[in-house]
Amino acid sequence: MKPVIFGLSGLTLTDDERAFYKDADAAGYILFKRNIENREQVRALTDSLRELTGRDELPILIDQEGGRVQRMQPPEWPQFPAGPDFDRLYDIAPMSAIEAARVNAQATALMLAEVGVNVDCWPLLDVSQRDTTEAITIRALGHEPMRVAAMGKAIMEGLRAGGVIGVVKHMPGHGRAVVDTHFHLPTVTASEEELEIDLEPFRRLADAPMGMTSHIVFQTWDPERPATMSPVIVEQVIRGKIGFDGLLMTDDIDMKALSGTAGEKAAGAIAAGCDIVLDCWGRMDEMQEIATLLNDMPAKSLERLDRAMATVRGVAPQGDFAELLAKRDELLALA
């Protein structure tokens, strides 16, 4: 099995994709808006991936956070609120905000599980700062580590109740980036002491089954390499200071924050200590290069993958979708 999660080009698998995916044996797949039309189509697509791989527990990922980051969209599915909506409620009613975050995540999970998606790249545990890039502020759960951790934990619990695994991101923290990693490489100059704020939510959820790196240079830890490509940050900060021993995936390696070819970036991330590379765009030439340059997953990474998938093994999705949404909306109305 190759340590990579690939994207798909469209609504169904092409013949070329079927042949390549069968041979490459990727660890999992991720869906985007281009792969999504309606319930029946998405379910057929996820079923076809599991049939092709012969793996019932195949990780099929999505970014379904709410707000602007919502791949399954109206009119087929409801619009969901974003992180700042829960942050505003927390200002006046912390426990209500935590419960609203939990039931919202549980409803999200029910929606995903219905179409065969079992991993959601959410929650963000990034602590917002005064000048944080909008790419994070429109999604973040707040500017205080404890509230971010509390609502992040509630999201993880809600997802699991609906039969879906959450992914904490973006380790070791994206809140101090003032530019968008989709287009630029941020450099953070904060001190070790200041960065304790960024690490705290991840420490509180260090037992999460899956986590995602950030493409950010932290000068205090490694002035030469972004976190995704840094063995210092992966081993000493994410595995060490945070204490995370779950499955660690990269953020999308296609982002312009990273330099090099797709294969070079993938190989570099694995060499740095990441368990899995996330390659989202379904470009055949890039996927072929990645598959050629990556060795099979080592035993430790396979064990982390199995441990992560075991967190929802045998979990029947719980809850009534409409009732969960109604409860969420009643709580959010308090703000």
Interatomic CA distance for residues 129 and 112, integer angstroms = 31
Has 170 been annotated as catalytic? no
Marked catalytic residue, from 25, 143, 180, 182: 182
Sequence letter at residue 233: I
Task: Please confirm, yes or no, whether 174 is among the known catalytic residues.
Answer: no
Which H, E and C letters describe the chain, residue by residue? CEEEEEECCCCCCCHHHHHHHHHHCEEEEEECHHHCCCHHHHHHHHHHHHHHHCCCCCCEEECEEECCEECCCCCCCCCCCCHHHHHHHHHHCHHHHHHHHHHHHHHHHHHHHHCCCCEECCCECCCCCCCCCHHHHCCCCCCCHHHHHHHHHHHHHHHHHCCCEEEEEEECCCCCCCCCCCCCCCEECCCHHHHHHHHHHHHHCCCCCEEEECCCEECCCECCCCHHHCHHHHHHHHHHHHCCCCEEEEEECCCCCCCCCHHHHHHHHHHHCCCEEEECCCCHHHHHHHHHHCCCCCHHHHHHHHHHHHCCCCCCCCCCHHHHHHHHHHHHCCC
Q: DSSP of 306-328, one letter per residue?
A: HHHHHTTTT----S-HHHHHHHH
Pairing of strands 119-120, 187-188: unpaired
Q: Which residue is catalytic, options 85, 198, 251, 252?
A: 251
Q: What residues are labeled active site?
A: 182, 251
